[in-house]
C-alpha cells in the first residue's frame, strides 16, 4: 500500500540538520530587500505582540525524499526561497546572539544546489566583521562565488538582515527568546512554523512542481522555461552510442546530458546578467519592462507575447492573454524540435543576433528609433518583425530604413485626405502634427548620434528615464519664445514662475554697452516689482489688479531686449517653425519653456554641466554649436535657425523627401 503524503506544522528546530536538495528545474535564490524585510518585520511584530501561545506560520515547504550517491536527501519542490532566507537569517542572527566570550552556537542545515554544486558551503562563509571605519558589515571577501548571481542575492540578503538587527539592538533579544522555539514549547514562547508537505507520489518531482506552480503567479515564465531545460527528464538528442556496450552507453549518455545542462546553466546566467542592462532593454523595447528576471524579455520577444496583430505568431492556437503564454510557446518549440538542445541553440542564435544589432552603430540607432516611436501595444513589433526576416545583413539594413521612411510619412491633410507635401504645413497646435514634429526631432537627434564616426551611442534609456527611474516627458518647446501668446491667460502662478526665471537670468547677463545696461536695469526693476510681495505676502502679479495685458507687456519688453542683443535676431524673413523647435524635459520648470532663449540657455547649460541628460541636438542648440561664425551667445538668431534647419534637412533627407523641407 502506497505511503500517505505528510502534511503537518513543523517549527524551526524540526528543519535543522537535514539535507535539502534544490533540483535543476528550480530558479536560483531571488529574494529582494523588500521580501527579506517583510519577513523580519512580520516575525518581530509577532514576537513582540500579545499573542501568547500562538505561532507564526510561513508558507508551505514541499519536499520529496530522494537518494543522491547513496545518501538520503529531501528534494525541495516548493519553498526553497523561504528555506534559503531562513538559513541566511540563522547565520547572521547566531553570530549577533553569541555570548560575550566564546563562540556562537550555529544552527542550520545543508542546502545543495544541483546547478551550483560548489556553492554548498556558501552559507558557512557568511561572516560578520568590521570595516576600516569600524562599522559592522558582512565580509564580502569571503564570497568565493561572486560570479554567480545567486551568491550576490544571498550576500545581499545577509547584509539586509544584519542592517535590520543593528538598527535596533532589542531585536536580537526578542528573536533570541522565540525564534528557535519548538512546537511543544512553553506557552509564553512563540514558535516560528512552516506547513511541511512531504509527498510520496509516484511521479517525477518536476511534474509536481509544474502542476503546483501553474495554479499561481509565484513563478515567472522564465523560471518555468528553465525547468524545461534543466530537469532530470529533459529530452536531449545525445548522439549515436549504438557501437558501445550498454554500461558504457549509459555512462556516455549521462556525461553528454550533464554537459548540455551545465552549458545551458552557465549561458543562462550570462544572458540574465546582460539582459539586466537597462541600455540593452531600452534598445529592444519601449515597453515598461519590470520583471524580476531580465531574461524574460528575451523569451517574450521570441514568443511575441506583447506584439500587435500585425505580427504573425508561429503558434496561433495559444492565447496571448494567458499569463503562461511565453512558457507554453517555448514548451511547444521544445516539443516540436523533440530535442531541448536544438531549441536552446535557436534561443542562443536569436540572443546573439540581438547582441549584434545592439553593438552595430547603424542597426542600434535605427532599430532603437523605431522602438522609441512605436505606438502603445506595438512596442515589441519591430524586433519581432526583424527576427522573422530571413534576409541578408544588407537586406535587413534596407528593411529598417524602409520602416523609418514609412513611419516618417507626412501626416494627412484632413480636407484633401492625402499627406501634406511640405513640412511648413505642419501646425504646432494640431495634435497629430505635434506628435509628428516630436518624432522628427527625435529622429534628428538619433541620426546625429548615428552619423558620428565615434563617440557614444544615443541613449534610449536616458531619453526615457531619469536616474531614479522615473519616466521623462519630452515636450516640443520654442527655442526662443518670441510671442506672448505662449503664456497662459489666467494661470497667475505660471506668470509668477515666468517672472522669477527671467529675473534671475537677466541679472546674470554681463553687458558692455551703456544703453543696453540701462535697459537691462529697467527691465530687472519691473520684473522685481511685479514679483514683489505685498503686506499679505502675495506677489503683485498674482493680485486681481494685475492682468494678462500687464504680463504681455512685460513679456514683450523682455523679448525685445534680447532681440536687441543681436542685430540679426528675429529681424530677417520668418523661418520654418522647425528651426525654432527643440525637445525639452523641463519637469517642474515648465515656464522656462515659455521664456526667451537666454533663460533656457543658462538653465540647460548648467544642467548639462551637472550631467543632466539632454539629447545631442538640444545640447548643440543651447550651447550654440550649430553656429561657429558668431560669438553672440544670448540669442537664437536668424543665422542660428538657418544652420539648424540645414543640418536637420541634411541628416533626414534619407527618410523624408528633400522637397518637403522647401518653403
H/E segment holding residue 597:
helix 597-609
Decide if 220 contacts 330 (C-beta within 8 A): no
pLDDT tens digits along 225-246: 887 888 766 888 888 877 778 7
Phi, psi of 19 (to 5 degrees): -110, 115
Residues near 600 by Cβ (< 8 Å), separated by ≥ 6? Answer: 477, 479, 584, 592, 593, 622
Cell 531619469 belongs to which residue? Answer: 466
Please give the DSSP secondary-structure letter assigned to residue 554: H
H/E segment holding residue 397:
helix 393-407
Distance (Å, rounded) from C-alpha 67 to C-alpha 454? 59
SS3 355: helix
Distance (Å, rounded) from C-alpha 530 to C-alpha 525? 9
Distance (Å, rounded) from C-alpha 135 to C-alpha 398? 59
Decide if 463 contacts 613 (C-beta within 8 A): yes
| Residues pairing with 113 in the sheet | 22, 116
Distance (Å, rounded) from C-alpha 559 to C-alpha 396? 49
Name residues of the chain where pLDDT drops below 50: 1, 53, 215-218, 568-575
Distance (Å, rounded) from C-alpha 631 to C-alpha 84? 65
Closest C-alpha to 81, from 104, 98, 105, 61: 61
Sign of CA dihedral 188, 194, 195, 196: negative
Global pTM value: 0.67
Sign of CA dihedral 41, 43, 47, 49: positive
pLDDT tens digits along 546-600: 999 999 999 889 888 887 776 544 444 444 578 888 998 866 556 666 777 888 8
Distance (Å, rounded) from C-alpha 436 to C-alpha 379? 18
All three cell numbers of 226, joined, read 528553465
Distance (Å, rounded) from C-alpha 17 to C-alpha 87? 11
All three cell numbers of 121, joined, read 558551503
Distance (Å, rounded) from C-alpha 473 to C-alpha 48? 47
| Per-residue CA distances from 513 to 66, 518, 554 (Å) | 91, 9, 22
Q: For the chain, how far is it from start to end, CA to CA, in angstroms? A: 91
Q: Are strands 19-22 and 71-78 parallel, antiparallel or unpaired?
A: parallel
All three cell numbers of 115, joined, read 546547478
pLDDT of residue 576: 53
Sign of CA dihedral 159, 162, 166, 171: positive
Q: Are strands 475-478 and 581-584 parallel, antiparallel or unpaired?
A: antiparallel
Distance (Å, rounded) from C-alpha 67 to C-alpha 61? 19
Distance (Å, rounded) from C-alpha 353 to C-alpha 39? 42
Distance (Å, rounded) from C-alpha 427 to C-alpha 415? 14
Distance (Å, rounded) from C-alpha 348 to C-alpha 355? 10
pLDDT of residue 244: 78
Distance (Å, rounded) from C-alpha 478 to C-alpha 483? 10
pLDDT of residue 312: 83
Please give the DSSP secondary-structure letter assigned to residue 631: -
Cell 515589441 belongs to which residue? Answer: 380
Residues near 114 by Cβ (< 8 Å), separated by ≥ 6? Answer: 21, 22, 23, 24, 230
pLDDT of residue 450: 96
pLDDT of residue 24: 84
Distance (Å, rounded) from C-alpha 393 to C-alpha 363? 10
Q: Calculate the CA 650 to chain-centre distance.
A: 34
110, burial (CB in 10 Å: exposed 0-12, middle 13-18, buried 19+)? middle
pLDDT of residue 138: 94
Q: Compute, in degrees rounded to 10, the torsion defined by CA atoms 80, 84, 86, 88.
A: 180
pLDDT of residue 416: 66
Amino acid at each position: 500500500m502506497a505511503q500517505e503524503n505528510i502534511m503537518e506544522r513543523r517549527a524551526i528546530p524540526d528543519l535543522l540538520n537535514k539535507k535539502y536538495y534544490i533540483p535543476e528545474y528550480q530558479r536560483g535564490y531571488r529574494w529582494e530587500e523588500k521580501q527579506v524585510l517583510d519577513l523580519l518585520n512580520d516575525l518581530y511584530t509577532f514576537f513582540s505582540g500579545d499573542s501568547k501561545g500562538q505561532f507564526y506560520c510561513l508558507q508551505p515547504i514541499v519536499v520529496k525524499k530522494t537518494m543522491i550517491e547513496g545518501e538520503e536527501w529531501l528534494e525541495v519542490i516548493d519553498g526553497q526561497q523561504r528555506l534559503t532566507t531562513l538559513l541566511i537569517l540563522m547565520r547572521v542572527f547566531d553570530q549577533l546572539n553569541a555570548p560575550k566570550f566564546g563562540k556562537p552556537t550555529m544552527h542550520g542545515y545543508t542546502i545543495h544546489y544541483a546547478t551550483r554544486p560548489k556553492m554548498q558551503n556558501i552559507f558557512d562563509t557568511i561572516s560578520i566583521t568590521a570595516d576600516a571605519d569600524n562599522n559592522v558589515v558582512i565580509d564580502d571577501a569571503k564570497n568565493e562565488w561572486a560570479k554567480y548571481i545567486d551568491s550576490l542575492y544571498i550576500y545581499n540578503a545577509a547584509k539586509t538582515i544584519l542592517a535590520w538587527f543593528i538598527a535596533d539592538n532589542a531585536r536580537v533579544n526578542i528573536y533570541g527568546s522565540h525564534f528557535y522555539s519548538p512546537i511543544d514549547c512553553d506557552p509564553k514562547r512563540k514558535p516560528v512554523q512552516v506547513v511541511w508537505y512531504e509527498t510520496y507520489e509516484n511521479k517525477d518531482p518536476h511534474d509536481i512542481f509544474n502542476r503546483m506552480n501553474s495554479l499561481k503567479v509565484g513563478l515567472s515564465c522564465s523560471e518555468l522555461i528553465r525547468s524545461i531545460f534543466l530537469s532530470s527528464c529533459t529530452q536531449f538528442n545525445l548522439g549515436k552510442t549504438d557501437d558501445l556496450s550498454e554500461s558504457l552507453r549509459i555512462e556516455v549518455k549521462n556525461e553528454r546530458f550533464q554537459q548540455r545542462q551545465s552549458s545551458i546553466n552557465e549561458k543562462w546566467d550570462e544572458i540574465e546578467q546582460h539582459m539586466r542592462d537597462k541600455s540593452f532593454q531600452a534598445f529592444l523595447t519601449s515597453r515598461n519592462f519590470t520583471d524580476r528576471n531580465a531574461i524574460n524579455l528575451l523569451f517574450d520577444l521570441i514568443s511575441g507575447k506583447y506584439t500587435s496583430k500585425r505580427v504573425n505568431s508561429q503558434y496561433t492556437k495559444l492565447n496571448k492573454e494567458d499569463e503562461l503564454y511565453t512558457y507554453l510557446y517555448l514548451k511547444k518549440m521544445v516539443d516540436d524540435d523533440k530535442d531541448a538542445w536544438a531549441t536552446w541553440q535557436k534561443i542562443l542564435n536569436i540572443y546573439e543576433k540581438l547582441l549584434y544589432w545592439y553593438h552595430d552603430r547603424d542597426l542600434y540607432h535605427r532599430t532603437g528609433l523605431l522602438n522609441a516611436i512605436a505606438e502603445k501595444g506595438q512596442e515589441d513589433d519591430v524586433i519581432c518583425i526583424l527576427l522573422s526576416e530571413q534576409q541578408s545583413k544588407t537586406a535587413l539594413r534596407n528593411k529598417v530604413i524602409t520602416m523609418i521612411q514609412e513611419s516618417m510619412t507626412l501626416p494627412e491633410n484632413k480636407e484633401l485626405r492625402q499627406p501634406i507635401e511640405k513640412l511648413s504645413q505642419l501646425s504646432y497646435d494640431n495634435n497629430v502634427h505635434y506628435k509628428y514634429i516630436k518624432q522628427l526631432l527625435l529622429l534628428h537627434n538619433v541620426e546625429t548620434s548615428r552619423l558620428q564616426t565615434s563617440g557614444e551611442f544615443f541613449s534610449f534609456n536616458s531619453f526615457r528615464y531619469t536616474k531614479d527611474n522615473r519616466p521623462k516627458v519630452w515636450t516640443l518647446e520654442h527655442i526662443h519664445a518670441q510671442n506672448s501668446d505662449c503664456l497662459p491667460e489666467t494661470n497667475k502662478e505660471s506668470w509668477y514662475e515666468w517672472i522669477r526665471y527671467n529675473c534671475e537670468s537677466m541679472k546674470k547677463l554681463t553687458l558692455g554697452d551703456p544703453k543696453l545696461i540701462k535697459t537691462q536695469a529697467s527691465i530687472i526693476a519691473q520684473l522685481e516689482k511685479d514679483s514683489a510681495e505685498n503686506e499679505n505676502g502675495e506677489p503683485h502679479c498674482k493680485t486681481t489688479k494685475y492682468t494678462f495685458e500687464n504680463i504681455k507687456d512685460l513679456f514683450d519688453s523682455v523679448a525685445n531686449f534680447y532681440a536687441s542683443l543681436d542685430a540679426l535676431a528675429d529681424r530677417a524673413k520668418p523661418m520654418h517653425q522647425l528651426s525654432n523647435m527643440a525637445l525639452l524635459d523641463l519637469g517642474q520648470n515648465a515656464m522656462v519653456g515659455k521664456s526667451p532663449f537666454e533663460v533656457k540657455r543658462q538653465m540647460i547649460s548648467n544642467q548639462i554641466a551637472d550631467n543632466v541628460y539632454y539629447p545631442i541636438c538640444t545640447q548643440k542648440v543651447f550651447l550654440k554649436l550649430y553656429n561657429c561664425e558668431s560669438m553672440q551667445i544670448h540669442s537664437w538668431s536668424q543665422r542660428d535657425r538657418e544652420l539648424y534647419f540645414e543640418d536637420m534637412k541634411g541628416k533626414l533627407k534619407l527618410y523624408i523627401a528633400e522637397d518637403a523641407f522647401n518653403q
